[in-house]
Amino acid sequence: GQNIDQPTEMTATEGAIVQINCTYQTSGFNGLFWYQQHAGEAPTFLSYNVLDGLEEKGRFSSFLSRSKGYSYLLLKELQMKDSASYLCAVMDSNYQLIWGAGTKLIIKP
Amino acid sequence: DTAVSQTPKYLVTQMGNDKSIKCEQNLGHDTMYWYKQDSKKFLKIMFSYNNKELIINETVPNRFSPKSPDKAHLNLHINSLELGDSAVYFCASSPKLRELTDTQYFGPGTRLTVL
């Protein structure tokens, strides 16, 4: 079966750095996405990785290791508005997005 | 300007009723999707629709049917609503079907409560 695992919840302090991990087992791989979802709102796109390595975009970076079936989202200089759920999703061989349950990130002052 | 819009935002109804949720995108995208997000926050794909090609998640009951009057609209019709249908339903769109880097743009969601 296809499986995406990420921690259910994480807590971090404003101004700090947090790393949210995602491991996956899917039938085929056509890229990994990270989305942000604030409570009661729709998911919004953050990043896409298809090659191994780190993609940096401002305060957010995403890393991928295809051989390990592993990715992480790194958030720097945390702000209160970063409190949200972060969803990892993998595009499988049928170009379908398989979604993780999301990691709820709580930022404390 | 709203890119992907859904109506209604909230829908409360009785078991056994039939209801529809509407979705429209003004992005000129070729592909539209319906997702169900349950209380555990899993996003489950229900349908993807591209140029009259419908891909159905086989786990979706046939009480659910997508209807696309044109490329910019994909409505979701649900027959004989059940308690387990209570969830948030998201419409999404993307430029092309089966392309890498294909970002999906989500509508605001419709919270369906079946009593």
What rounded mean pLDDT belongs to chain B?
89
Residues 6+ apart with CB under 8 A from B45: A96, A97, A99, B33, B34, B35, B57
CA–CA dist A35, A41 (Å, integer): 12
Question: Which of A67-81, B51-65, B80-94 has the least mean pLDDT?
Answer: B51-65
**Mind telling me how many Å the CA of B45 is from chain A's nearest CA?**
8
Q: Are B43 and A95 within 8 A, CB to CB?
A: no
Per-residue confidence (pLDDT) for residue B43, from 0 to 100: 87
Q: Which residue of B has its CA nearest to A4?
A: B42
Radius of gyration (C-alpha) of chain B in whole angstroms: 13
pLDDT of residue A65: 97
In the prediction, which pLDDT does B56 show?
A: 74
Closest residue by Cα to residue B110 from B16, B7, B35: B7
Distance CA B41, CA A59 (A): 25
Residues of A in contact with B4 (CB under 8 A): 42
For residue A67, pLDDT over 80 is answered with yes
